[in-house]
Amino acid sequence: MASEISPKAEIDPRAKIGNNCKIYPFAYIEGDVVIGDNCTIYPYVSILNGTRMGSNNTVFQGAVLAALPQDFEFKGEPSELIIGDRNTFRENVVINRATHSDGKTVIGNSNFFMEGAHISHDTKVGHRCVFGYGTKIAGDCEIGDAVIFSTSVIANARTRVGSCSMIRSGCTFSKDIPPFIIAGGSPIKYDGINSVMMTTYEIDEKTQKHIANAYRLVFHGQTSVFDAVLQIKEQVPDGKAIRMITDFIEGTKLGIITKI
């Protein structure tokens, strides 16, 4: 089915628009843009050069996709913002493209960005995440799958957040947040495992108990974090989820958030 494009939208003729899209008046789309099938672009959206968008995405008023990086290293070179399928970008969301031509900002599938969320240059976002009102993710961050950011969370540069974690409202963090946990407070700290999200994604009760035991060693133990990882490998039954925890902690460059 042909796309329904308002004659009042400003679209560079070089832009590639898929089938069955609806583009409202006053949308602005530059030339080096690819938009997949079944996308809805509301008024006053700006989709800028470097955007590569999949199918079934919805972009609400005032959002800006592939905005120029807010990075002093940016010298104007072409770069990309890669967006998957079934994402929702609510009003005034801003996503920056990468700083350099060999980099990418990546948004996976089925993510929901609430009003005023901002994802900075070269950040990688997984699938099925929620970004609450006014949440700001700095450059070069890595966000796993099924992560929930509550309202007004600030993730500082190069931090990582593991899958199935939740960050409570108003938190700021500069260290990594491991998978399957709830983080909150000021300063931010471990606040238990995220049982609700793990149950939603069919992580069974036995595995959840193993995950809780692993984090007792990390956050309640009397050893260093890396000694706690060795204890996890020795004392907690192995499995995919446990390996996600140990691999994440062993891969940290900034350290993980504070113990209780």
Alpha-carbon dihedral sign for residues 63, 101, 120, 125: positive
Q: What distance in Å separates the CA atoms of residue 204 and residue 235, rounded to the nearest whole number?
A: 19
Among residues 121, 127, 210, 220, the one annotated as catalytic is: 121
Alpha-carbon dihedral sign for residues 252, 254, 255, 257: negative
What token pair was written down for 90?
């609510």
The question of whether 220 is a catalytic residue gets the answer: no
What is the helix (H) or strand (E) element at residue 197, kind and residue range?
helix 195-200
Q: What distance in Å separates the CA atoms of residue 169 and residue 151, rounded to the nearest whole number?
A: 5
Q: What distance in Å separates the CA atoms of residue 111 and residue 183, rounded to the nearest whole number?
A: 20
Catalytic residue IDs: 121
